[in-house]
């Protein structure tokens, strides 16, 4: 395993910050600990960066909160339970997944929501 250096941490953060899809990271207590710029923009009507430090359950319906709890319990039940398809958004043509975050020993330390868009990117190749 490669040790996590401050330089490597900066690189990983930059990868997530440059992603065009929203990334919201929660700890195992369901507190939002990080939002990338795309998430801050996507959830600006709900508070944007002010969501950081709040409980994820404050942002969802009771039904959604129940499902989040079930998924996190499933993640915790087995180190092999790491990703689950949660829904398809037809308006944005994307699939959404919840993904487990684990430490070097495989213990659950949090989770995040991953968005996979299905629309073809029509921007020109290598246009500077």
Interval 87-113: pLDDT, tens: 999 999 999 999 999 999 999 999 999
Span 19-117: which CATH code?
3.30.450.20
Question: In the prediction, which pLDDT does 78 show?
Answer: 97
Question: In the prediction, which pLDDT does 127 show?
Answer: 83
pLDDT mean for each 10 residues of the chain (128 residues): 87 95 96 97 96 95 96 97 96 95 96 92 88
Domains of the chain: which residue ranges? Answer: 19-117
Q: Helices (DSSP H) in 43-106: which residue ranges?
A: 62-77
Query: What share of the chain in percent tops pLDDT 70?
Result: 99
Question: In the prediction, which pLDDT does 69 show?
Answer: 97
This prediction has a pTM of 0.90
* CB-CB contact of 97 with 84 (8 Å): yes
């Amino acid at each position: 395993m490669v040790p996590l250096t401050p330089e490597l941490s900066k690189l990983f953060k930059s990868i997530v910050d440059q992603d065009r899809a929203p990334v919201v990271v929660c700890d195992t207590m369901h507190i939002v600990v990080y939002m990338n710029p795309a998430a801050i923009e996507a959830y600006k009507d709900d508070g944007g960066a002010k969501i950081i430090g709040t409980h994820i359950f404050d942002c969802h319906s009771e039904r959604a909160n129940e499902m989040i709890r079930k998924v996190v319990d499933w993640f915790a039940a087995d180190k092999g339970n790491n990703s689950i398809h949660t829904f398809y958004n037809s308006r944005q043509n994307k699939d959404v997944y919840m993904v487990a975050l684990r430490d070097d020993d495989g213990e659950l330390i949090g989770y995040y929501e991953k968005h996979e868009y299905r629309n073809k990117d029509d921007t020109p190749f290598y246009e500077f």
